């Protein structure tokens, strides 16, 4: 406990050094020595013990107020020693209050002897220097060597004043022995409280490092000149740190510090030659700057790595750096010139205040990370960079970024100023939904399926996918392929677009008034398509959930795909050769303005399959000379409502029917068995499918108009004149349900 209490008192006096306890300890010692013979003096002893208890309690409170750092890690043990001392004082005080005879006094004496040993140890320690300490010549060195014991076993000291060491002013020059003595004295400094003036704490000037082996706390400024001092134990400087290491090409490293209460100033020569800057983990209350420059204006010509800790700055130039790290959270502006590539992490910066600019200049291999920046109302520019990451940005001024690889703006929902991404090949705009200001992006393919374009977009793109726009001209004149994922306004055509895809927003009634004259491919989902105009180039059309769809007779369309729910489909294309259909038609009985029908004339199709369709009311499939198969909606379960005006016309195509003559009954001849009469039949899967559908429709509708034919009619009367039971008739045209019943879907047996 002896050395523990001794060290404790030294540390505690750092906090309460203005009090002088020497007189209290001396008086207490005298009283204790006399206690064994002067019982009548117990009251006075009790008073002094109470005073000592107050002193120890005050020291405990002071220790508790010291911030925990590496240098104060042993305070737990010291606090325990103080508590033990207080317990001993309390016990003695209680015992003295009850002393009545010699036996009681003997017990008190034993307790006092145990405490007095520790008190004497404290009194013998000379651990606090209550004056300024200066070493700048032989005489001052000799004096300080008597003031601060610096043997191996001597205690570390607290200087209640300033410390000034200057080895360059010795005359003659300082010897090796003198330098060794300076280092031994410096190694005994544990805490320097400063003189109370604005510029005095520890000031050291030396061409070689001075060994401040145990210096952990400076409650004032720290000024270093000539070399990087050996101060690895230093954790806290409450004032400024001014460092001039002599311009040697070495690391500038103050990462051992936990905090600097003022500014950090680096000499211009050190800033120019330092091979690295390391302030990792240092909390700097003030600014970091280069001597002769405005605070926060940093230039490191030789540093390959730069870690600025939490130091605030506004401009950094580091031409050789391949790694830059900053932990500052706010600044008035930010300019970084780092043209040697690598990673630049400014990931704690949350706001650039006011309208301060963000200007980033790097190399094509530079990766800028400003991952916490949410608000930057000034301009954000990047003239050269590989990647620029702004994933938290939600409010911004004008953005003008050119990156060779990518830009990340993953939190941006609505632009608050213009955005110009120039030729950046990739942009991560995960949540971007509204371009409310001019948006510029000059790449070939733009894929922003969730973005509503409220203003014109400036682009050289030929392939654009967006959610919607107000006018087709908003996407630029170079676009040839256009995809609108949720268009909510009418669209007028343009001759530039050759590949068009429109999906209407939920609940929107979008009218595509004109498709231009050069369309090749069209995909429409959920719009009112009034006309395709005169489309000599159109090759492919896909329709889904549309209300009116017409292909002009002189188009060159070759492929049609139908899906979703349609009102009608009309094609007079003479080049239609592929028809892919999974659509269902709406049922609008009595709607004369928009007939619910499927109309295909003059196509090159060889087959049409409507088997998956529902609610087909009007079918008009005529004059398709290659068409050999037309399958009706045989799988329909959602049937037409009453008065749908069902009419099925399938004629002038190349449907065929295979006729098998009837067979007369045979009574048998003893050798050959008897066979019954076999009725003549016609095999035609196409016509048989229309029998099934017409029969189903008639369960909800009173009438169905039929007009179907096939290309190889045969007269039953001519072929079966002797068969009086064969009354089918038929000469290639089928217009009644009875006639349609002649045809079967399976081959005749």
- State the pLDDT at residue 14: 38
Least confident of 115-129, 172-186, 578-592: 115-129
Instruction: Report pLDDT digits (tens) over 494-520.
Output: 778 889 899 999 888 787 766 667 888
Q: Which residue has the higher pLDDT, 87 or 366?
A: 366
- State the pLDDT at residue 11: 40
Q: What phi, psi does 178 have (nearest 5°)?
A: -65, -40
pLDDT above 50 (res 6): no
pLDDT above 90 (res 586): no
- Percent of the chain scoring above 70 in pLDDT: 78
pLDDT above 80 (res 466): yes
Does residue 643 belong to any structural domain of this protein?
no
Does residue 74 belong to any structural domain of this protein?
yes
* 241-269: average pLDDT: 95
Q: How confident is the model at residue 25 (pLDDT cuts 50, 70, 90)?
A: very low
Q: Can you give the pTM of this predicted structure?
A: 0.72
* 4-32: average pLDDT: 41
Q: What is the mean pLDDT of the chain?
A: 82
* 9-37: average pLDDT: 42
Q: What SS3 state is found at 16?
A: coil
Extract the runs of DSSP E, i.e. beta strands, from 429-505. 434-435, 439-440, 445-453, 457-458, 463-469, 481-487, 491-492, 499-504
Which is it for strands 395-396 and 375-376: parallel, antiparallel or unpaired? parallel
Number of domains present in the structure of the chain? 1
* 706-728: average pLDDT: 57
**Residue 279 and residue 255 in contact, taking contact as beta carbons nearer than 8 Å:** yes
- State the pLDDT at residue 32: 43
Does residue 411 belong to any structural domain of this protein?
no
Helix and strand counts by DSSP (H, E) for the chain: 11, 62
Question: What's the token pair of residue 710?
Answer: 């096939």
How far, CA to CA in Å, does 588 sit from each of 430, 565, 596, 637, 695?
A: 41, 12, 7, 17, 20
Q: Which residue has the higher pLDDT, 490 or 422?
A: 422
* 310-324: average pLDDT: 95
Does residue 145 belong to any structural domain of this protein?
no
- State the pLDDT at residue 222: 97
Instruction: Report pLDDT digits (tens) over 649-694.
Output: 999 999 988 887 777 888 878 888 888 877 777 889 999 999 999 9
Residues in CB range of 641: below 8 A, 6 or more apart: 587, 589, 700
Does residue 24 belong to any structural domain of this protein?
yes
Question: What's the token pair of residue 72?
Answer: 């104060």
Does residue 198 belong to any structural domain of this protein?
no
Least confident of 10-19, 203-212, 689-698: 10-19
Q: Which domain holds residue 88?
A: 2-125
Q: How confident is the model at residue 550 (pLDDT cuts 50, 70, 90)?
A: low
Does residue 176 belong to any structural domain of this protein?
no
* 35-40: average pLDDT: 46
Q: What SS3 state is found at 268?
A: helix
First and final C-alpha spacing in the chain: 117
Least confident of 119-133, 198-212, 276-290: 119-133
- State the pLDDT at residue 588: 62
Least confident of 273-287, 378-392, 639-653: 639-653
Q: What phi, psi does 183 have (nearest 5°)?
A: -65, -35
- State the pLDDT at residue 554: 66
The DSSP secondary structure of 56-123, one letter per residue, reads: HHHHHHHHHHSPP-GGGTTHHHHHHHHHHHHHHHHHHHHHHHT--SHHHHHHHHHHHHHHHHHHHHHH
- State the pLDDT at residue 277: 97
Does residue 744 belong to any structural domain of this protein?
no
């Amino acid at each position: 406990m002896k050395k523990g209490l001794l060290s404790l008192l030294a540390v505690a006096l750092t906090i309460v050094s203005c009090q002088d306890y020497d007189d209290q300890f001396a008086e207490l010692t005298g009283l204790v020595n006399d206690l064994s013979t002067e019982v009548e003096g117990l009251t006075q002893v009790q008073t002094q013990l109470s005073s000592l208890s107050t002193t120890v309690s005050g020291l405990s409170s002071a220790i508790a107020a010291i911030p925990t750092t590496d240098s104060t890690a042993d305070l737990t043990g010291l606090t325990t020693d103080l508590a033990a001392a207080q317990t001993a004082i309390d016990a003695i005080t209680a015992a003295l209050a009850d002393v009545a005879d010699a036996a009681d006094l003997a017990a008190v004496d034993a307790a006092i002897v145990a405490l007095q040993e520790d008190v004497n140890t404290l009194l013998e320690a000379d651990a606090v220097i209550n004056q300024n300490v200066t070493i700048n010549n032989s005489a001052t060195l000799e004096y300080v060597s008597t003031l601060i014991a610096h043997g191996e076993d001597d205690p570390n000291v607290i200087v209640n004043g300033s410390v000034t060491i200057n080895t360059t002013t010795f005359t003659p020059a300082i010897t090796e022995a003198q330098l060794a003595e300076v280092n031994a004295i410096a190694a005994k400094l544990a805490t320097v409280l400063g003189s109370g003036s604005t510029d005095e704490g520890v000031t050291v000037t030396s061409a070689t490092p001075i060994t401040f082996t145990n210096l952990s706390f400076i409650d004032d400024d720290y000024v270093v000149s000539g070399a990087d001092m050996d101060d690895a134990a230093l954790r806290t400087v409450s004032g400024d740190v001014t460092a001039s290491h002599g311009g040697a090409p070495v690391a500038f490293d103050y990462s051992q510090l936990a905090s600097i209460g003022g500014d950090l100033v680096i000499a211009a020569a050190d800033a120019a030659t330092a091979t690295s800057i390391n302030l990792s983990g240092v909390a700097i209350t003030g600014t970091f700057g280069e001597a002769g420059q405005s605070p926060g204006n940093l230039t490191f010509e030789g540093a390959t790595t730069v870690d600025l800790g939490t130091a605030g700055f506004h401009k950094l130039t580091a031409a050789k750096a391949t790694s830059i790290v900053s932990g500052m959270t706010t600044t008035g502006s930010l300019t970084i010139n780092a043209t040697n590539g690598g990673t630049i992490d400014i990931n704690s910066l949350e706001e650039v205040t006011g309208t301060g600019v963000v200007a980033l200049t790097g190399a094509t291999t530079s990766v800028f990370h400003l991952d916490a920046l949410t608000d930057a109302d000034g301009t954000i520019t990047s003239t050269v960079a590989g990647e620029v990451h702004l994933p938290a940005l939600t409010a911004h001024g004008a953005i003008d970024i050119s990156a060779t690889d990518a830009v990340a703006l993953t939190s941006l929902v609505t632009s608050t100023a213009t955005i110009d991404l120039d030729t950046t090949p990739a942009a991560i705009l995960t949540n971007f939904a509204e371009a409310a200001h001019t948006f510029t992006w000059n790449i070939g393919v733009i894929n922003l399926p969730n973005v509503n374009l409220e203003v014109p977009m400036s682009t050289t793109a030929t392939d654009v996918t967006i959610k919607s726009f107000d006018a087709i001209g908003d996407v630029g004149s170079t676009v040839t392929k256009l995809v609108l994922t949720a268009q909510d306004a009418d669209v007028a055509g343009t001759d530039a677009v050759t590949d068009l895809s429109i999906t209407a927003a939920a609940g929107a009634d979008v009218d595509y008034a004109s498709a231009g004259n050069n369309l090749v491919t069209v995909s429409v989902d959920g719009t009112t398509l009034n006309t395709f105009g005169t489309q000599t180039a159109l090759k492919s059309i896909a329709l889904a959930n549309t209300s009116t769809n017409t292909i002009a007779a002189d188009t060159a369309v070759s492929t049609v795909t139908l899906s979703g729910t349609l009102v009608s489909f009309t094609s007079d294309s003479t080049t239609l050769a592929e028809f892919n259909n999974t659509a269902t038609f709406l049922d609008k009985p009595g709607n004369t303005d928009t007939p619910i029908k499927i109309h295909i004339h003059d196509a090159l199709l060889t087959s049409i399959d409507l088997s998956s369709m529902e609610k087909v009311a009007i079918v008009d499939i005529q004059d398709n000379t290659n068409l050999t198969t037309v399958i009706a909606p045989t799988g329909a379960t959602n049937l037409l409502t009453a008065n749908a005006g069902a009419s099925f016309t399938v004629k002038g195509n190349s449907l065929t029917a295979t006729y098998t003559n009837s067979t007369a009954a045979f009574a048998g001849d003893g050798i050959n068995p008897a066979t019954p009469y076999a009725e003549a039949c016609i095999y035609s899967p196409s016509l048989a499918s229309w029998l099934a559908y017409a029969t189903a429709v008639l369960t909800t509708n009173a009438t169905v108009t039929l007009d179907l034919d096939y290309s190889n009619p045969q007269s039953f009367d001519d072929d079966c004149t002797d068969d009086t039971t064969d009354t089918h008739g038929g000469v290639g045209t089928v217009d009644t349900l009875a006639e349609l019943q002649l045809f079967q879907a399976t081959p005749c047996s």
